[in-house]
Each structure stands twice: as C-alpha cells, then as structure tokens.
Amino acid sequence: MANQHETRMAGQLKEAMETMEFSKDQVEFIQTTLQFRQMMLVYQCAIKEVRTKLEILNDELTILHGKNTIESISSRVKTPLSIFNKLKRKGVELSLDAIEQTLQDVAGIRVICSFIDDIYAVADMLARQDDITILNRKDYIKNPKPNGYRSLHLILTVPVFFSNEKKQVKVEVQIRTIAMDFWASLEHQLKYKKNIPNVEEISHQLLVCSEVIAKTDEHMQHIREMIDAGGTVDEDAVG
Ligand code: 0O2
C-alpha cells in the first residue's frame, strides 16, 4: 500500500538510481525506510479497524444498558526504538520480516473498563466477530504476573482491505480496569527508569498495592451486581 507521498518518493528514488546520484547502500537504506513506513501504515489501519469495532460495541451497550462498558480506548504503533529493543531482547536480528514474524504488539490498543466483568464481556464480544481471529489470550487477571501486573491480553488478526489486496494484520489488545491501568503506568516507570534507589522496596510496595487494587476491583464489581439486582449488601462477600 502506498500513499501519494510514498509513490512520489519511489519515483524520485528510481530516478536517482538511474542517474547514479546515490550509492547502492544508500538506495537500499531509502528503500527499507520506505517499506518500514508502509508497514507501520498497515498497522495503523488495523488499529483503526479494531478501534471502530470497539466503539460500535460500546455505543450499542450504552444504548442497551444505559451505561458505558468501555471508559476509554487508546492506541499506538510501537516506536522504531521500542521495536529495536524488543527484537534485541528476544535475540532476533532487526529486519522487516523479523518485525512481522516475531512481534505481536506493533499495533497496540488499550481498553479501559470500570469493572472486571466488562473486561471479559468486551473480549468475548470481539472474539465472536467472524472476521477476527484470536491467536493468543493471556489472562493476567486470573493469573497475575509475579510483580502484580494484571490485565487481559488478546493477540488477534483483523482483515484490512487495500485497493488491490486484503491483509490479515496482528493487533494486541490489552483490556484492564481503571485501577489496573493506574498501577501499570506507575510500574512501567520503574521498568524503564534507570538508577532508581530502593528498587526492591518499591517493587514490594507495588505488589502490595496491586493486591489492594484487585480486592477493590472485586468489591466494586460486587457492589455493582447488588445495585443491578436491587438487592441488599452481603457483608461476608464484600470482605
Ligand atoms: P511496552 O514498552 O509497553 O511496549 P510478546 O509481546 O507476547 O512477544 P511479551 O512482551 O512477554 O511478549 O508479552 P506480554 O507479557 O503479553 O506483554 C506485552 C505488553 O504488555 C508489554 O509490552 C507491556 O506493554 C505490557 N506488560 C506486560 N507485562 C507488564 C508488566 O509487568 N508491567 C507493565 N507495566 N506492563 C506490562 P512491552 O513491549 O514489554 O513494553
């Protein structure tokens, strides 16, 4: 897929090659850069497709139930530096093929819900759509990471239609509560900042916080169920 700018660039490149204005290495570098940009555009389009699906689901559920299931949606295409670092971490040499084959989260969408049940409802609704294929599902809510990270991760493929082809593109969808997201943002700083003193103490505090948050999320879920049922509070169940 090429936009007008890239088509013009490809034309200029061909002209430069013909007049020997660039060395072979330079031409290869420019060609790879162009291909990389095109690849990122494809991921950007896949994000648009999945975001639209999520927005439609949320609009429908808001009309049906009179309340938002999804609080917010954010998305990003992984930066070149982050792509490079992740491939390095996985011991894979940098190439366009390696990006496509090795990385599952070049296109990433984060969905924030108020309640735990909504997370699973959104995941199931996405999985039921017949043009979506779920390749992988990691439930870090039922099985939190040792550091306390909680979130539901889906790796899915979605078809993206271009002028002359259809591509199945991988997208990572992370679904979590507001509280889980608050925790993950703070913990992310610990992961990526260097020379932080008392890392062990901070990690311990984060783990404690993650457990408090998990209990609060469950408590809030229970309160919502009681409100929906119009019933009374069961003090034992909400601990
Ligand atoms: P960044 O900088 O956020 O992009 P895979 O992607 O399946 O090949 P991975 O990375 O083990 O391999 O998959 P996993 O565990 O599903 O994690 C994918 C993404 O989830 C990470 O991407 C983070 O965004 C997020 N994540 C996973 N574990 C943690 C955690 O302990 N803390 C926080 N804050 N986020 C986490 P990246 O590329 O690692 O990082």
Distance 86 CA to ligand 1 centre (A): 10
Please confirm, yes or no, whether 218 is among the known catalytic residues: no
Minimum CA distance residue for ligand 1 atom 31: 149
pLDDT of residue 130: 96
Annotated catalytic residue, options 172, 187, 211, 218:
172
pLDDT of residue 239: 42
Question: Mean of the per-residue pLDDT values for the chain?
Answer: 90
Nearest ligand 1 atom to the CA of 155 is 7
pLDDT of residue 27: 77
pLDDT of residue 219: 96
Dig out the tokens for 71 from the structure. Answer: 């609080």
For residue range 81-125, what is the model confidence (pLDDT) as tens digits?
Answer: 999 999 999 999 999 999 999 999 999 999 999 999 999 999 999
Query: In whole angstroms, how far apart are CA 47 and each of 20, 70, 89, 177, 210?
Result: 39, 17, 25, 21, 29
pLDDT of residue 24: 76
Nearest ligand 1 atom to the CA of 147 is 31
Nearest ligand 1 atom to the CA of 103 is 8
Residues having CB within 6 Å of any atom of ligand 1:
82, 86, 104-105, 138, 145, 147, 149, 153, 184, 187-188
Distance 209 CA to ligand 1 centre (A): 19
Nearest ligand 1 atom to the CA of 184 is 34
pLDDT > 70 in the chain, percent: 88
For residue range 8-56, what is the model confidence (pLDDT) as tens digits?
Answer: 766 776 776 667 677 777 878 888 888 999 999 999 999 999 999 999 9
Of 85, 105, 190, best ligand 1 pocket probe by most atoms within 8 Å of the beta carbon: 105
3-class secondary structure, 160? strand
Distance 29 CA to ligand 1 centre (A): 30
Q: Which residue has the higher pLDDT, 62 or 156?
A: 156
pLDDT of residue 196: 82
The 10 Å CB-count burial string (b at 16+, else e) for 30-61 is beeeeeeeebbbbbbbbbebbbebbeebbeeb
Name the residue among 184, 174, 236, 173 with its Cα closest to residue 214: 184
Q: How confident is the model over 159-166, as a mean pLDDT?
A: 92
Residue 197 in this model has a pLDDT that exceeds 90: no
Residue 75 in this model has a pLDDT that exceeds 90: yes
Distance 223 CA to ligand 1 centre (A): 31
